[in-house]
Amino acid sequence: MSATKLLLTLSLMAAFAYVSLVGLMYLSQRTLLYPGAGATLAPEAASWGENVSIRTPDGETLHGLYSQGESGKPSVLFFLGNADRVSNYGFLAQALAARGVGLLAISYRGYPGSTGSPSENGLLTDGIAAFDWLSVRSESEIVVLGQSLGSGVAVDTAGQRPAIAVILVSAYLSVLSLAQTYYPYFPVPLLLKDPFRSDLKIAKVRQPKLFIHGRHDDIIPLYSGEALYRIAPEPKQMLIYESFGHNDVWDDRLVGDVIHFLEAMKRDII
């Protein structure tokens, strides 16, 4: 085989391998983005609060855990990260309940106890449905809390519904920008189905906002959260946890900062 033919053959093999890899990434992207989905439809036993079911406008049924707060106290609507479980937050429900604050955490469509399959449009629909359910059930003011993937759901929900405040833990500028960082050699804008453009929606979120991020977060780097914080309208504040990363950010300090934010907000000093 001549050198020219060998070079052509190798080039074609490389191109085929690249196209195949791009195709694989395209087909598997939602499995990567929503690793907690695909579990049983049977809701988990309530480890805190009560099991509730929430119907969405497009016909899905969401599982949630709900701890009702006291009359006149706000409720927190919690949107979790992409591999998390609502059953993991009994410690938060207990800390909030001690101050009369309610908590609703939902399992996105396709996640344990909920019907359907996850997608950006689906999760954003879930967020609005959960807010509307909670506003009727609790008849109290609602604070939206979103962590990691859930920060995008929180931003969208707060931009469309009258939440009184927003807490964003490990937030991102967009899933699109993160994907471009992780996969710089792929045409990400052409392939990505669920870009979660919080950067395009944060301007509508004019409620008081608290951003919390671990400096050593290697899943959603601090610079992504800081970029979203910079373009967010006032009022806002950001807390950076110097010794924490992505999966270890929840501890007594974060719970305390959430409670302090809620109490300060109610005193109108934010």
DSSP H or E stretch at residue 62: strand 61-67
Q: CB under 8 Å to 82, separation ≥6 — which residues? A: 33, 34, 35, 36, 148, 149
∠ CA 258-264-265, nearest 5°, is 90
CA 61, 68, 137, 73 torsion-angle sign: negative
Plot region of 113 (φ>0 → left; ψ -120 to 50 → alpha; else → beta): left
Q: Report strand pairing: 61-67 vs 50-55.
A: antiparallel
CA torsion 81-82-83-84 (nearest 10°) is 30
145 DSSP β-pair partners: 78, 167
CB atoms within 10 A of CB 113: 22
Catalytic residues: 148, 217, 246
